Copies of this chain bind each other. A is one copy, B any other.
């Protein structure tokens, strides 16, 4: 991964000044990583540094009853599913269910129609003798949507699988009411460390079990995260890309740019954007500051998908109010090499696309848009990923 700050429109000195203010927090982060464990509010930093949860999740995913299932229902909302969907779609593709041997469905809200159509499909699978894993995830164990859906899923599917309870995996805080329910009923249960905040919990059992079940390489995922933790706890401003990015965003926030636009080039990244909305929205959107003073502040995160959104909101972004800071993300490697065939009659429709791969056309549009942003003095950073893999 690489981030280019060339068009961030914040000077080196300014970034350095803000970065210095972050040093006490970085020291605390270093301490948490050094001490290990999950007893601190920053405990999510330690998720990639232990094998415990990955071992637990992988072991369960490999148990024959579970491993033989062909459907996974993930019941959870917010911190209980957004990170998982983000990883799953980025790594396995947005079209995953279309051809997958194991399909996955996320039930997060009490939408009757969406729930019913999903369950109709799963019922048809159960009728054909296929099995479904039901992973119900709630940190507190008392999320209204999750518990309502859990109840509905159980009562709807049980008639089609008398052994459904063996296929239930409950993921929750140890000792929550849901945990106790699972213990009483003899259900499989996975723990979420209490001090790991929901939105930062994807690398706990919350994300690791469903991802392992779907065939995502969770060890590689943790290895990638470890590299980023290493950067995030560094006091070297050049190496600590997360802190540098935060400093740039903060500078724009101070000058009134209250919107941050995560502009992702690639369909499979859309759900990364949805998770990002939660990370920014919940972490920075605050009624009160840390000492209890009413501040009503925060950045509003928005998500755009390229090139699609150039044809919908592109004109607003480039010509409208200059009130946004943008983070452009692209991948340097696509799985497919699909290419436009060179044909004289197509050259008359659009010139210079014949013989190019779709990835090259995407890159050309990406570069063109960034040039226009730079020319119009709309601030942005450019993030390049080495590929759409776990690591």
Q: Which residues of A contact B (CB under 8 A)?
A: 77-79, 82, 93-95, 97-99, 108-121, 124, 141-145, 147-149, 151-152, 154-156, 177-178, 181, 184, 199, 258-259, 266-268, 274, 277-278, 280-282, 284-288, 296-298, 300-302, 305-309, 311-324, 334-341, 343, 345-346, 348-350, 353-354, 356-359, 361-362, 365, 388
**CB of A275 to closest CB in B, whole Å:** 8
**CB of A146 to closest CB in B, whole Å:** 9
Contact A349 B178 (CB under 8 A): yes
Contact A358 B112 (CB under 8 A): yes
Contact among B115, B319, B321, B356 for A336, CB-based, below 8 A: B115
Oligomer copy total: 2
Contact B313 A282 (CB under 8 A): yes
Contact B111 A321 (CB under 8 A): no
Contact B117 A338 (CB under 8 A): no
Contact A114 B94 (CB under 8 A): yes
A155 to B355, CA, bound (A): 12
Task: Name the residue among A109, A315, A339 with the largest chain B CB count within 10 angstroms.
Answer: A109
Q: With A281-B316, A316-B298, A343-B151 in contact, is A114–B93 under 8 Å at CB?
A: yes
List B contacts of A314 (CB < 8 A): 281
Selected A-B contacts with CB under 8 Å, 15 pairs: A94-B114, A97-B98, A109-B307, A109-B308, A114-B268, A143-B350, A144-B361, A145-B311, A148-B358, A181-B349, A259-B300, A287-B318, A298-B319, A300-B320, A300-B321
Contact A142 B350 (CB under 8 A): yes
Contact B361 A114 (CB under 8 A): no
**CB of A97 to closest CB in B, whole Å:** 8
Contact A350 B144 (CB under 8 A): yes
Contact A312 B353 (CB under 8 A): no
Contact among B120, B181, B319 for A348, CB-based, below 8 A: B181
Contact B112 A362 (CB under 8 A): yes
Contact A345 B181 (CB under 8 A): yes
A300 to B143, CA, bound (A): 32
Contact A341 B151 (CB under 8 A): yes
A115 to B109, CA, bound (A): 29
Q: With A301-B313, A302-B302, A313-B278 in contact, is A287–B115 under 8 Å at CB?
A: no
List B contacts of A151 (CB < 8 A): 340-341, 343, 346, 353-354
A78 to B117, CA, bound (A): 28
Q: With A118-B95, A284-B316, A298-B316 in contact, is A341–B111 under 8 Å at CB?
A: no
List B contacts of A78 (CB < 8 A): 308, 311-312
Q: With A93-B114, A111-B362, A365-B144 in contact, is A296–B321 under 8 Å at CB?
A: yes
Select from chain B the residue with minimum beta-carbon distance to A316.
B285
A322 to B83, CA, bound (A): 28
